[in-house]
Structure 1
Amino acid sequence: MSAYLIIQATVHDWQKFAKYTEVVPPLVEKFGGHYIAMGQPELIEGQDAPKSVVISQWPDCQAAHNFWQSPEYVQAQKYREGTGQFSVLLIDGLSQTTLE
């Protein structure tokens, strides 16, 4: 069953954050993920929206954890430090049988 990594971000230092955006996409691909949505969300209801949302799809939650905990990504996270506020969520996708 697919899993989805959802990152809500408000970046304050884009110049420093730029290195993170160069290094991470090849790692996502290496560990079996791919991006399915990225950008500034439209707030339809509620009080607040992050400035940016990134959603990546993974074969399963374990694949996403393997990426997140890999030495390569742990190193890449250093480029993100101090650049903004981030919330990271991981959720299982719905299986076809769940929908029926």
Structure 2
Amino acid sequence: MPAYWIARSKINDPVEYKKYTDQVPGIIAKYGGKVLARGGKFQIMEGPDKFHRFVVIEFPTFEQGVACFTSKEYDDAAAFRRNGAGEVETIMLEAGEFTK
């Protein structure tokens, strides 16, 4: 069953943050991920107006998504944003059965 990595972020230092975003596509691909949305037009419908970048990545399974996020490669890349260059909230969501 597919799973979705959903992140919302606030970029504080675009130069440092780019060092992170330049590395991430290859890491995601290694774990079977496919970026469905990254950046682009958005409208906050409800909630705080803190985050201004949104990302949705699909993985074949929940486990592959979690493995990607917890990998050494991703952790090394994320160090560029975790030093204050950005603030991020991330969740992994397994696609569920839809009932009527």
Which TM-score band applies after superposition, normalised by the shorter structure?
0.7 to 0.9
Match of 1:55 in 2: 56
Match of 2:92 among 71, 85, 90: 90
- Alpha-carbon distance in 2 for matches of 1:38, 1:22: 13
Match of 1:76 in 2: 77
Q: Equivalences for 1:29-48 in 2 at 5 Å?
A: 29-39=29-39, 40-48=41-49
Q: CA deviation at 1:44?
A: 2.6
Answer whether contact 2:6 2:54 (CA < 8 A) is retained.
Answer: yes
Identity of aligned pairs, percent? 28
Q: Across the two proteins, how many residue pairs are aligned to each other?
A: 98
Contiguous gaps of at least 5 residues in structure 2: none
Task: Please list the CA deviations of residues 17-66 of structure 1 after superposition, one character each: whole Å capped at 9, or x if unmatched.
Answer: 11111111110001110100122521233443511100000011100111
Contiguous gaps of at least 5 residues in structure 1: none
- Alpha-carbon distance in 1 for matches of 2:87, 2:48: 17
- Alpha-carbon distance in 1 for matches of 2:81, 2:17: 6
Residue 80 of structure 1 aligns to a residue whose secondary structure is helix
Answer whether contact 1:43 1:49 (CA < 8 A) is retained.
Answer: no
- Alpha-carbon distance in 2 for matches of 1:25, 1:15: 17
> Which residue identity lines up with residue 25 of structure 1 in the other structure?
P
* TM-score normalized by the length of structure 2: 0.87
Is it true that 1:24 corresponds to 2:40 in the alignment? no
